């Protein structure tokens, strides 16, 4: 549905630029159009993508290349996306992220293949809620 990447020419500079790619068509009903996403879930989706930018800002060129290689080789995407989901939750966007995950898995018209990819590589609504509860417990 969305993807955030550093702009290649700016990878070496101190002031990096990023592009957020938004799907405008859904091939064979595989994914989800942003225009179909409820507002609270949309906030969670954008929050997740902005968390990628926060993470990228702290990475060296070689660390960014390692992340890119993970996606190209279908490596351990889950651990990285879980880290990004946790960054999103830590910035008080957990309920919105949960709304996004719940929408994708339980209310969207996305294909089962897309839903299975999301279940495999991202936190589920239940896992997000556990993280929210844990953070709340430590903040009280």
CB count within 10 Å of CB 22 equals 14
- Give the span between the Cα atoms of 78 and 118, in whole angstroms: 9
Strand partners, 20: 4
Q: Which residues are registered as beta bridge partners of 19?
A: 5
Per-residue pLDDT of the chain (140 residues; tens, 9 = 90+): 889 998 887 766 778 899 999 888 876 667 799 999 999 999 999 999 999 999 999 898 889 889 989 988 888 999 999 999 999 999 999 999 999 999 999 999 999 999 999 999 999 999 999 999 999 888 76
Backbone CA torsion sign across 114, 117, 121, 124: positive
For residue 36, is it left (φ>0), alpha (ψ between -120 and 50) or beta?
Answer: alpha
CB 8 within 8 A of CB 68: no
Q: Is the pTM of this model over 0.85?
A: yes
């Amino acid at each position: 549905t969305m993807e955030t990447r550093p702009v290649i020419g700016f990878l070496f500079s101190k002031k990096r630029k990023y592009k957020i790619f938004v799907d405008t068509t859904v091939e064979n009903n595989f994914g989800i159009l942003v225009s179909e996403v409820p507002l609270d879930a949309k906030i969670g989706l954008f929050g997740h993508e902005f968390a990628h930018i926060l993470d990228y800002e702290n990475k060296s060129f070689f660390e960014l290349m390692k992340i890119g290689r993970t996606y190209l080789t279908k490596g351990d995407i889950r651990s990285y996306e879980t880290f990004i989901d946790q960054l999103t939750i830590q910035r008080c966007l957990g309920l919105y992220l949960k709304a996004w995950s719940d929408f994708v898995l339980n209310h969207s018209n996305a294909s089962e293949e897309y839903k299975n990819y999301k279940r495999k590589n991202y936190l589920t609504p239940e896992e997000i809620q556990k993280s929210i509860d844990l953070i709340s417990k430590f903040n009280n």
